[in-house]
Structure 1
Amino acid sequence: MLPFWDQVLFLGIVALGCYTQAITGFALGLIVVAFATLFGIMSIEQASIVVTIITLSNASVALGRSGCQVQWSRAVPVILAAAPATYFGLVLLSLLGTESMGLLRLLLGVTIVGSSLLLVFNPRPMTRESSRTSFGLLGAVAGVLGGLFAASGPPLIFHFYRQPLKLSMIRDSLLLVFLVLATERIGFLVLRGEMPFDAIVQAVVALPVTVAFTLLGAKLSPPLGETAMRRAAFILLLFAGLGVMAPVLLSS
Structure 2
Amino acid sequence: MIEALTGLAPLSMLMVAGIVLIAGFVRGLTGVGLAVVLVPLVNLVLPPERTVLLAILVGCLAGTMGYRAAWRNVNRRQVSIITLAAIAATPLGLALLFNTPPDIARLAIAVIALAAFVVIVIPRPPLPPSGIGPMIVTGLLTGLLGSFAAIPGPPVIYYFVRRGVPAALTRDSLIVIFLWGPLFVALAALALGKLDWQLGGLALACFPALAIGNALGSRYFGKIPDRHWRALVVGLIAIATLGAMLRMAG
TM-score if structure 2 supplies the norm length? 0.83
Structure 1 residue 96 and structure 2 residue 100: aligned? Answer: yes
**1:1-252 correspondence runs (5 A):** 1=3, 2-38=8-44, 41-64=45-68, 68-98=72-102, 100-102=104-106, 104-105=108-109, 107-109=111-113, 111-112=115-116, 114-116=118-120, 118-119=121-122, 122=123, 126-131=125-130, 132-162=132-162, 164-224=164-224, 228-229=225-226, 238-239=234-235, 241-251=237-247, 252=249
Question: Percent identity at matched positions?
Answer: 20
Q: 1:19 Cα deviation (Å)?
A: 2.2
1:140-180 per-position Cα deviation (integer Å, ceiling 9, x unaligned): 11111111111111222222212511212211111111100
User: Do the aligned partners of residues 25 and 250 (structure 1) sit closer, same or farther apart at CA in structure 2, a change above 3 Å counting?
Assistant: same
Q: 1:66 Cα deviation (Å)?
A: 6.0
Distance 1:173 1:142 in 2: 13
Q: Secondary structure at the match of 2:141?
A: helix
Distance 1:68 1:220 in 2: 24
Question: What residue identity is the alignment partner of 1:15?
Answer: L
Question: What residue identity is the alignment partner of 1:192?
Answer: L
Alpha carbons 2:93, 2:146 under 8 Å: kept: yes
User: Do the aligned partners of residues 13 and 150 (structure 1) sit closer, same or farther apart at CA in structure 2, a change above 3 Å counting?
Assistant: same
User: Do the aligned partners of residues 138 and 192 (structure 1) sit closer, same or farther apart at CA in structure 2, a change above 3 Å counting?
Assistant: same
User: Do the aligned partners of residues 103 and 223 (structure 1) sit closer, same or farther apart at CA in structure 2, a change above 3 Å counting?
Assistant: closer
Distance 1:233 1:101 in 2: 27
Q: Secondary structure at the match of 1:61?
A: coil
Q: 1:7 Cα deviation (Å)?
A: 1.9
Q: 1:85 Cα deviation (Å)?
A: 0.6
Q: Secondary structure at the match of 2:66?
A: helix
Q: For the aligned residues, what is the CA RMSD? A: 2.7
Question: What residue identity is the alignment partner of 2:42?
Answer: A
TM-score if structure 1 supplies the norm length? 0.82
